[in-house]
Copies of this chain bind each other. A is one copy, B any other.
């Protein structure tokens, strides 16, 4: 199993959920693997360059502003400030006199406009709360670049040094404090939102800055995916179960395929045959590249295993894994394992049927923000087990991991830092951890109530943070119920806060 995959899968899920690629699709699009996805991400993370030719039409109304942010909050090193972009909408805000809430989405590893566009839930519930909406961008992503440009910010380990979670949280803390002061809104309660890594940020922000935010909705946030808190096989076991629950034969076919790919690759002309079978644009150079490409598809399918058709990174049918397995299982007798597997992954890589040939990842080592974070402090060990998973056996090795990170970034990872800083288990109060059990990241999140105010909302049939998305006519009941439950809890936090404030005022 490829190491780079572990680094990039988290990022990929965001791409899956945030990038409306369908509107960009061209008849002869040649798709590459999104294994590390730097090329794809790079393309979309710079709307500036795209804006001229393709002016963006954001889904929601907001003003775009920039805050002069300190690069290092925790030292007095003489470093240049950077402009942190944030999107803000106050049209429904009832203002400071009525202590109107501030809904604050913790921007994660990407352009904040994509998060704003794809977190409809926050926009949709704001009016009923009389809430302001703020979407701050995470440092080193989108337009919020230190050192003047992305190229300078991503130049090397020194320029990337301040791309850390704690600095990002401090950015949020300083920004909120400043906004509130400027709006005379010091007493207005702040509610945090976030999905995926953004959900981790929301939860951790509530833990570390409870004086700044009264609660956090952390959707699909694998805050426990560190060290040995959850078994390292968790992620791939869930992906595998997503397939097995659809069809055991589908699961078995995929499980068998890895050895066959490898054996085939070692035959004379085997790589040529594989190139043909999988419709690749260029001759395959190593069977491993093909395995990685397949591997990515299955994991992304699991994250995006939504109940209705979606058009994120890839246009997909509803319940896409069911469709993959239907294809694999329904091949005529005599179809080879590899041909079946190919039929299956076309659901992911070519659902629209517009792809002529497939391009495997051609730039696995590009500088990429999330990979830097994964190599420095966000170290999430992942293995796949021989028995319970359909993937090739892999045992996570810190030394191999470190070697790769050193080669790519010249950075030495600190794998125990996150649990030291944020705790290996969750404390505090007023956090919702929402998860869908089909989502492979759910295994590293919080799935049971921890206390009366740290609660888990679990949707058995949910995938990756669907609750944060805008309502659609296709929403099944359980999504609507999950969102209603979230609204109710958030109402409770705000009500409690008002009562507390009133009590102080009455004293």
A residues touching B (Cβ–Cβ < 8 Å)? 72-78, 157-158, 160-162, 164, 166-167, 170, 173-174, 177, 208-212, 376-377, 411, 416-417, 419-425, 427-428
Could you list 9 further interchain pairs (A-B, Cβ under 8 angstroms) beyond the known A174-B420, A211-B425?
Answer: A73-B421, A74-B164, A74-B167, A75-B161, A75-B162, A78-B157, A78-B158, A208-B208, A212-B423
Q: Of the candidates B76, B170, B208, which one forms a contact with A160 in the assembled complex, judged by CB atoms under 8 Å apart?
A: B76
CA distance A471 to B147 in the complex (A): 56
* Complex contact A77–B161 (CB within 8 A): yes
Q: Of the candidates B164, B174, B212, B425, which one forms a contact with A75 in the assembled complex, judged by CB atoms under 8 Å apart?
A: B164
Closest Cβ of chain B to A370, distance in Å, is 15
* Complex contact A76–B173 (CB within 8 A): no
CA distance A157 to B76 in the complex (A): 8
Closest Cβ of chain B to A434, distance in Å, is 22
Q: Of the candidates B73, B173, B211, B423, which one forms a contact with A74 in the assembled complex, judged by CB atoms under 8 Å apart?
A: B73
* Complex contact B173–A421 (CB within 8 A): yes
* Residue of chain B at shortest CB distance from A157: B76
* Complex contact A166–B74 (CB within 8 A): yes
| Across-interface contacts of A160 in B (CB, < 8 A) | 76
| Across-interface contacts of A211 in B (CB, < 8 A) | 422-425, 427
Interface centre among A78, A160, A170, A421 (most CB of B within 10 A): A421
Closest Cβ of chain B to A70, distance in Å, is 8
Cβ contacts A to B, 10 pairs, < 8 Å: A72-B74, A73-B74, A75-B162, A76-B162, A76-B376, A77-B158, A77-B162, A78-B158, A177-B420, A211-B427
| Across-interface contacts of A419 in B (CB, < 8 A) | 177
Q: Of the candidates B72, B170, B428, which one forms a contact with A421 in the assembled complex, judged by CB atoms under 8 Å apart?
A: B170
* Residue of chain B at shortest CB distance from A71: B75
| Across-interface contacts of A427 in B (CB, < 8 A) | 210-211
* Residue of chain B at shortest CB distance from A377: B76
* Complex contact B417–A73 (CB within 8 A): yes
CA distance A416 to B170 in the complex (A): 13
Closest Cβ of chain B to A347, distance in Å, is 40
CA distance A174 to B377 in the complex (A): 14
CA distance A161 to B421 in the complex (A): 21
CA distance A469 to B270 in the complex (A): 79
Return the 8 tightest CB-CB contacts between A and B, nearest first.
Answer: A211-B423, A74-B74, A77-B161, A76-B161, A75-B161, A74-B166, A75-B162, A177-B420
| Across-interface contacts of A424 in B (CB, < 8 A) | 211
Closest Cβ of chain B to A251, distance in Å, is 33
CA distance A257 to B224 in the complex (A): 65
Closest Cβ of chain B to A493, distance in Å, is 15
Closest Cβ of chain B to A72, distance in Å, is 6
